[in-house]
């Protein structure tokens, strides 16, 4: 029996293939090798252990890794999904804020927003929470919306246009990214530059006023409105 299984290199390779693929029970081959010596039996056991622990796991990991990469959508699909999610969120917010407009003017008052913010069903709180907007007070939130809207006719501290309110929520959703921080830093630098220019202009005006004739301002080239 041992010669029939391991009598040549070809037969030995075929027997090992059978033990690895389930074509034959490896215990029968082990019993035959034990008769030939413990060294052969030990090598056979080591081969089986190496194959099942190392080779099978490595091959399985390769196929699983490739399958996971194929399952991940590409950039275009992710961009389309993100756009679709934003559109659905915008639609939900528009329907939600439209319920607050009991007068039919297309505006949401701060009192109505505060009322629904403190409602027992917590619908508004839950919707804003999904966007990452932990709004604690309507008044503070409307001030932020007024800054983002930049149009006093559409948004102010007392009421806000529904579409502007939705746009503001979409701008504020999620956590601040590095891009947002860099934009804030750029705005601050621009503001600091403007303040410095105004200060220099005021200093120049003060010097001209101090050296010129009393009461005569006709020679002043530029007068800053902030001075």
Query: Encoding tokens for residue 180?
Result: 């947002």
End-to-end CA distance of the chain, in Å? 109
What pLDDT sits at residue 177?
60
pLDDT per position as a tens digit, 24-78: 888 888 888 887 888 888 888 898 888 888 888 888 888 888 888 777 767 777 7
Whether the pLDDT of residue 224 is over 50: the answer is no
- Counting residues of the chain whose pLDDT is more than 90, the rounded percentage is 1
The average confidence (pLDDT) of the chain is 80
Average pLDDT over residues 196-213: 82
Question: Residue 1: pLDDT band by 50, 70, 90 thresholds?
Answer: low
**pLDDT at residue 227, rounded to an integer:** 47
Summarize pLDDT for 113-160 with one digit per residue, the tens.
888 888 877 788 888 887 777 777 788 888 888 887 877 677 887 888
Classify the phi-psi angles of 72: left when phi > 0, otherwise alpha if psi is within -120 to 50, otherwise beta.
Answer: beta
The single residue listed with the structure tokens 């390779």 is 13
Q: Which of 103-112, 138-147, 154-163, 214-223 has the lowest mean pLDDT?
A: 214-223
Spell out the SS3 assignment of 200-219.
HHHHHHHHHHHHCCCCCCCC
CB 173 within 8 A of CB 186: no
Q: Is the pLDDT of residue 221 over 60?
A: no
Please tell me the pTM assigned to this model.
Answer: 0.47
The dihedral built from the CA positions of residue 205, 206, 209 and 210, taken in this order, carries a sign that is negative
* DSSP code per residue over 38-75: HHHHHHHHHHHHHIIIIIHHHHHHHHHHHHHHHHS--H
pLDDT at 158: 84
- How far, in whole angstroms, is CA 136 from its chain's centroid? 23
pLDDT at residue 103 tops 80: yes
Q: What pLDDT sits at residue 147?
A: 80
């Amino acid at each position: 029996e041992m010669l029939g299984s391991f009598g040549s290199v070809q037969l030995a390779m075929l027997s090992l293939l059978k033990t690895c693929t389930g074509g034959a029970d490896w215990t029968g081959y082990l019993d035959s090798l034990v008769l030939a010596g413990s060294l052969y039996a030990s090598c056979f056991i080591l081969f089986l252990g190496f194959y099942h622990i190392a080779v099978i796991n490595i091959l399985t990991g390769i196929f699983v890794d490739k399958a996971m990469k194929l399952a991940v959508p590409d950039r275009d699909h992710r961009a389309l999904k993100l756009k679709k999610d934003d559109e659905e969120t915008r639609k939900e917010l528009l329907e939600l804020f439209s319920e607050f407009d009991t007068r039919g003017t297309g505006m949401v008052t701060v009192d109505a927003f505060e009322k629904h913010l403190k409602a027992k069903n917590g619908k508004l709180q839950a919707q804003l929470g999904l966007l990452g907007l932990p709004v604690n007070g309507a008044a503070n939130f409307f001030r932020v919306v007024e800054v983002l809207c930049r149009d006093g006719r559409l948004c102010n501290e007392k009421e806000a246009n529904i579409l502007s309110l939705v746009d503001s929520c979409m701008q504020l959703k999620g956590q601040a990214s590095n891009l947002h921080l860099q934009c804030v830093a750029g705005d601050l630098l621009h503001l600091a530059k403007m303040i410095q220019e105004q200060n220099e202009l005021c200093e120049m005006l003060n010097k001209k006023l101090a050296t010129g004739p009393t009461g005569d301002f006709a020679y002043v080239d530029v007068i800053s409105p902030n001075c």
